[in-house]
Structure 1
Amino acid sequence: PISNQAETPTQIAEMFDSVSYNKGACILNMLKDFLNEEKFRKGIIHYLKTFSYGNAKNDDLWNSLSNNCLGDFTSGEFCYSDSKMTSNTLAFREESMELKEMMGTWTLQKGIPLVVITREGRSLRLQ
């Protein structure tokens, strides 16, 4: 996992290895593609301005990125890249999507991110 509890200097040193950095970079890149570059950038800027010179938690990043997309959620749309939507894609129109919940499977578990795809008739649902 990228996010771990660490209480000793040894545990802290073990957290900062090439696997963690590479996985973190991959996850941020996937999240950027999922949200779209503009909304991802705005969320990151908000996060950096809010928490510069201070401490932050994972939830602070997810909230910064989610709040950036709030208009999309309330309008019945999802914060995603329009250019990647196909006629068979479920656009999450009448659902709320909890970014924190999704990212927890990507950052708190070992291995690769968990993406669940369910077929509903002619549509695909991504979780």
Structure 2
Amino acid sequence: MSTYLLAFIVAELDYVEAFTKVGTPIPCRVYAPKGTAHLGKFSLDVCTKTLDLFNTVFGTPYPLPKMDMAAIADFDAGAMENWGLVTYRTNSILFDEATTTQSSKQWIASTVTHELAHQWFGNLVTMEWWSDLWLNEGFATWVGNYAVDKLFPDWHFWDTFVVEDVQSGLSLDCLRSSHPIEVEVQDPAEIDQIFDDISYSKGGSVIRMLSAYLTEDVFLEGIRQYLKKHAYGNASTGDLWAQLSETSGQDVSEFMNLWTKHTGYP
């Protein structure tokens, strides 16, 4: 496990609990400040159903004996995918049916699925170096939206993805200050700069495009083999292209390098 994924919490919190249904039941909990744990029931339901979906789709079961998600007031980020203990800003996980808007409900669902996607993409298989950050964030963006679309088909979430992520990636990528999806990181001070819409939105959009081109069945089979081959280890973009090439019978790197190694779009 990568050192950046270690977390522990010391606090007085309440929790709600449920279990997954696919394979060995995994206890899932949402921890929240005293008196607010009941507001975590929606996120808890999304959590158990998402883990069941990912266990089935990825062919590699969630490897830990539990999944905890904690609501933290004044949390700096929207969420952080610590392995087995995901931390969230309270408004990214707690849902009040009486006062929370529909858009906020969708934001909560997509944040939870994004962070759970990281349990495979980033945690089980970690990027070789920060230059391949998009393997974490681009995949979590695509897989998170994939899960929301499966759980809530009436939301038409891929339409939202095109409006919010594809357009955002295109807008940022036409600027002179943009950078390739695969960007050289030579100093730790440069790491924070690439947590942007190129890594997240353009990365997720390119993965969606590749899935459609190879067909979803072929693409997911390649991803299953990629996860199996690199589990508990590190991988690079080249490793991903090699596996997808083997599965599809096409030279994926030949055309995908145009999208990931260069600024802008072909």
The answer, yes or no, to whether TM exceeds 0.5 is: yes
Report SS of the residue matched to 2:202.
helix
In structure 2, give the amino acid aligned to 1:59: G
For 2:245 and 2:251, locate their aligned partners in 1 and report how far apart those are by CA, in whole Å. Answer: 8
User: What is the rounded CA distance, in whole Å, between the counterparts of 2:186 and 2:240 in structure 1?
Assistant: 22
1:23 is the counterpart of 2:202: yes
More strand by share: 2
Which residue does the alignment assign to 2:188?
9
Q: State the Cα distance separating 1:11 from its structure 2 match.
A: 1.3
**Are 2:260 and 1:107 equivalent residues in the alignment?**
yes
Q: TM-score, normalised by structure 2?
A: 0.32
Offset, 1:59: 1.1
CA shift digits 1:70-102 (9 cap, x unpaired) = 3xxxxxxxxxxxxxxxxxxxxxxxxxx521121
> Normalization by structure 1: what TM-score?
0.64
Report Cα offsets for 1:15-46 as digits up to 9, x if no partner: 22123210000000000000001000000111
* More deviation, 3-12/59-68: 3-12
Q: Which has the larger radius of gyration?
A: 2
Whole-angstrom CA distance in 2 between matches of 1:101 and 1:14: 28
Residue 57 in structure 1 maps to residue 236 in structure 2: yes
Aligned partner of 2:256: which letter? Answer: M
Structure 2 distance, partners of 1:99, 1:19, is 20
Relative to structure 2, which stretch is displaced further, 26-35 or 52-61?
52-61
Q: Which one-letter code corresponds to 1:42 in the other structure?
A: E
Q: Structure 2 unaligned runs (5+)?
A: 1-179
SS of residue matched to 1:110: coil
Q: Whose relative contact order is higher, 1 or 2, with alpha carbons under 8 Å and at least 6 apart?
A: 1
Q: Where in structure 1 are there 5+ consecutive unaligned residues?
A: 71-96, 115-127
- In the alignment, the residues of structure 2 paired with residue 68 and residue 19 of structure 1 have an alpha-carbon distance, to the nearest angstrom, of 27
Deviations 1:45-64 (A, max 9, x none): 11111112211111110111
Q: How does 1:92-103 map to 2 (within 5 A)?
A: 97-103=250-256
Secondary structure at the residue paired with 1:3? coil
**What CA distance in whole angstroms lies between the structure 1 residues aligned with 2:199 and 2:248?**
27
Q: Partner letter of residue 254 of structure 2?
A: E
Equivalent residue letter for 2:252: L
The reply to whether residue 69 of structure 1 matches residue 248 of structure 2 is yes
Q: What CA distance in whole angstroms lies between the structure 2 residues aligned with 1:2 and 1:19? A: 6
Question: After TM superposition, which residue ranges in structure 1, 4 or more long, deviate above 2 angstroms?
Answer: none
